[in-house]
Each structure stands twice: as structure tokens, then as C-alpha cells.
Structure 1
Amino acid sequence: MRITRAALIAAMAMALAGCAGQRDEAPAEAAVPDRAPDRFTIAPDDYHVPYAGTAEDGRRFFLSEELFGGRGGGSSYVGLFLWKADGTFDEVRVDEVSRPEGLPAGQAGPAGAQDLVDARLAELGDYVLEPIEVEPFIEKVDGVRFGWKVGRYDDGTHFVGIVPGDFIVYYAPWDGLDYDT
């Protein structure tokens, strides 16, 4: 069972209200309806998001060698996702690579394709690693979906998750500082 941060906060608020004898009040979160984001932030980090920022030509980018799944679930990919300077989707460039041996099914991990990653980074020119605000998108390449899908958890809250692989999932407040893996 998946417990989101929002659900945990709501449960804690209800428990605290019960302890204080305020059982008639709804949690504050209930007054604010969840809305799917038009934009979300991707912030570079040292975990699953080493390459996010602005390319020399002003486009926003996200580069990963941890994409996996697709045909038969056993493929790995290096993917460069590009948005125009205003954050609207531009293009995705994908290369299928060998899945690392010993990496458990359903787990993200570097594909060991550093030469390809370096080549994709070189295509960006002088780039800056920095948080980017972009729109979600899905694009099919050779029958495999790539991008950032918008979805909804059972509790009604929205998320934006990477595909293929579903190993980065952002949630409100969409600031890119926290994500589920």
C-alpha cells in the first residue's frame, strides 16, 4: 500500500484534532482541492536527477541513463528530454542500451553508457545545471512511451512521473525538491 505525504499529513492532523477534542473539524487539507499541474519543476540532484538545466540555445533539458522498461520490460535507455525556453515540450532523443547485469527487475540504475551520456551533453553546448520549470508530456518512440505522465493516486492527489521506469515521481507543491522513487 502506498502512503503519500499528503495522506500522512491528513492522518496526523486528524489524530491531533482528536487528541485536542476537536473531532468535528475537517483537516485543513480537505479545503484545498488537488489539481493536476500544468508545469512542474525538475531540480538537479545527486540521486536520480544528475542532469537538468538550460542548454546553450536556451532550451530546458533533462538527461537520464536510468530509463527502463518498454518492450518486454527488459530494455534500458538513455533519454534526453528537451523543452523550449518557455517550458513547452520540444523533443525527446532516445537510445536503447543494454540493461546492466544484476540490476533487479523494476529498479532504476545507471546503464553504464557514459560515452553516450557525454555525447548527449556535448549536443547541449555550454549548459547550466539548474532547476527547470516545464510541462508534462508523453511521446512515443518506436512504440515506447517516454516523458512525464500526469496521474492520480487512489487518495485523489496528483503526481507527475517519469516513463518508462516510473522511478521519479513528483508531487505538490511541484517545486522539484522532493520526489518518490
Structure 2
Amino acid sequence: MPDDYHVPYAGTAEDGRKFFLSEELFDGDAGYVGLYLWKADGTFDEVRVEQVRRTAGVPPGQPASAGAEALVGSRLAELGKYVLEPIEVQPFTTTVDGTTFGWVVDQFEGAYSIHIEPGDFIAYYAPWDGLGYDT
């Protein structure tokens, strides 16, 4: 579900694919702008990733805007006319240049979650409505 906190861009692209776009992805000192795309039925399609400079002074393990507004704008333009709305999609992982990207299923003390990689900065939990997540 899109919001003004960590998920400003999630919805349906003009071609019917579901998308999630973030500039807060990170792995160590590397930052990324990542566009995750699923087919209209919610099955994984592709990831478009661009490495960007990680914001200076951000503590390890904490997400932060990469300040890559032009790249985010370019990725949004690739979607055509899009609608920001909740999406229902399948988890997936893929590796790009040695870094894992995806929506990763995890279990802790019997409770399942899905966290977004790289950076593990968003974790969704049941009831899977996208309204509540941990950062």
C-alpha cells in the first residue's frame, strides 16, 4: 500500500503490471533505486536496479532517501500512466551483481513476514493488507 513514509510508489503500471519503486534500498555502503515489477496476476516479472551513492552520515542498517529524484522520475516515466494503489504480489528473490533483491519470506517464532531486500528495511505481516509494516 503506498504511503508517505517509506512506500510512496506502489501500484499498477499502464501495461497492467504491479510495481514497487524505492530509493531506500541499501547493502552496506551501497544504495540502490529499485523498481520491482510483477505481471498483472502478481507473479514476479523483473527488477530494474541502479546503484546510487548512499546518503552520507546514515547509520548502518538504517534506510534513507538516496536523493535520486531524477532517477526515480525516470523509472516512474517508464511505467506510463500508473495508479498508486495497494498491490497483491508473490514473494521472490533475484540476484543482481551479487546483491539479493526481492520480497523475502521469513519466519520468527511462528509468525511469517515478508521483508524487502536489500536492506531489510520494511517488513509486512498478517493480515497482509499493507497498512501496517515495521521498519
Question: For the superposition of Structure 1 and Structure 2, which TM-score range results when normalised by the shorter chain?
Answer: over 0.9
Question: How many Å apart are 1:168 and its aligned residue?
Answer: 0.5
The runs of 5 or more residues in structure 2 that have no matched partner are none
Is 1:94 the counterpart of 2:52? The answer is no
1:66 and 1:50 map into 2 onto residues whose CA distance is: 11
Question: How many Å apart are 1:103 and its aligned residue?
Answer: 1.1
Q: Which has the larger radius of gyration?
A: 1
Instruction: Report the counterpart of residue 167 of structure 1 in structure 2.
Output: 121
SS at match of 1:135: coil
Question: How many Å apart are 1:59 and its aligned residue?
Answer: 0.3
TM-score normalised to the size of structure 2? 0.99
Residues 27-72 of structure 1 show CA distances to partners (whole Å, capped at 9, x for unaligned) of xxxxxxxxxxxxxxxx000001000000000000000000001xxx
Residues 69-93 of structure 1 show CA distances to partners (whole Å, capped at 9, x for unaligned) of 1xxx110000000000000000000
Question: How many Å apart are 1:156 and its aligned residue?
Answer: 1.1
Amino acid at match of 1:178: G
Is 1:51 the counterpart of 2:6? The answer is no
Question: What's the Cα RMSD here?
Answer: 0.5
Is 1:74 the counterpart of 2:32? The answer is no
Question: How many Å apart are 1:160 and its aligned residue?
Answer: 0.3
Instruction: Report the counterpart of residue 177 of structure 1 in structure 2.
Output: 131
Question: How many Å apart are 1:102 and its aligned residue?
Answer: 1.2
Aligned residues between the structures: 135
Amino acid at match of 2:133: Y
TM-score normalised to the size of structure 1? 0.74
1:144 and 1:103 map into 2 onto residues whose CA distance is: 20
Instruction: Report the counterpart of residue 58 of structure 2 in structure 1.
Output: 103
1:67 and 1:128 map into 2 onto residues whose CA distance is: 22
The runs of 5 or more residues in structure 1 that have no matched partner are 1-42
Instruction: Report the counterpart of residue 113 of structure 1 in structure 2.
Output: 68
2:90 and 2:70 map into 1 onto residues whose CA distance is: 29
Q: Which segments of structure 1 move beyond 3 Å, counting only runs of 4 or more?
A: none
